[in-house]
Amino acid sequence: MKKLASALLLIIPLMAMSQPESEIRGVLAAQQDCWNAGDIPCFMEGYWKSDQLVFVGKDGLTYGWQTTLERYQKNYPDQATMGQLAFDVLEIYPLNTDYWFVIGKWSLERSAGNVAGHFTLLFRQIEGEWVIVSDHSS
């Protein structure tokens, strides 16, 4: 019986850690589906709707959810430019109970020419939802 209790004490924290990871992976999967449907506003649902959101890309810093949305819409004006997005999560781990860090690769397969790069994302749990508060994509 003691062995069972000891095993449960080890497994329960691991199960608790897997819940945020699963939810964060779900956010990324939803973003990928939205992008591949040509729906940038839907894709943006994975981001924190705040002026404090920060996006770092090849053109520098972009602050704010609305500004980031407008940046995506300007750079990807149609489905052909958007192409088909694929994410490959390389690392995902907690920084504490409310913040998780994600490192991965992104790729766009499209008729305008395929492109790919890497990203780092800082996720934060806000009001029970996991959202991206910082995105560095290159």
Q: For the segment 96-138, what is each residue's pLDDT rounded down to a tens digit?
A: 999 999 999 999 999 989 999 999 999 999 999 999 999 999 9
- Least confident residue range of 4-18, 45-59, 110-124: 4-18
Q: Are 22 and 30 in contact (CB under 8 A)?
A: no
The pTM for the full model equals 0.86
13 has pLDDT over 70:
no
- Least confident residue range of 5-14, 20-29, 30-39, 82-91: 5-14
pLDDT (average), residues 68-90 = 97
Strands of the sheet with 99-109, listed across from one edge? 60-63, 54-57, 129-137, 115-126, 99-109, 84-94
For residue 67, give the amino acid letter. T
Q: Are 46 and 28 in contact (CB under 8 A)?
A: yes
9 has pLDDT over 80:
no
Backbone angles phi and psi of 128, in degrees to 5:
80, 0
Nearest to 108 by CA among 35, 29, 28, 34: 35
Q: What is the pLDDT of residue 7?
A: 46
Q: Are 118 and 137 in contact (CB under 8 A)?
A: yes
Ordered by start, the domain boundaries in the chain are 2-137
The tokens for 72 are: 């995506």
3-class SS at 88? strand
Radius of gyration of the chain from Cα atoms? Answer: 17
Q: What is the pLDDT of residue 2?
A: 56
5 has pLDDT over 80:
no
Q: What is the mean pLDDT of the chain?
A: 91
Task: Please give the class, per CATH, of domain 2-137.
Answer: alpha beta
8 has pLDDT over 90:
no
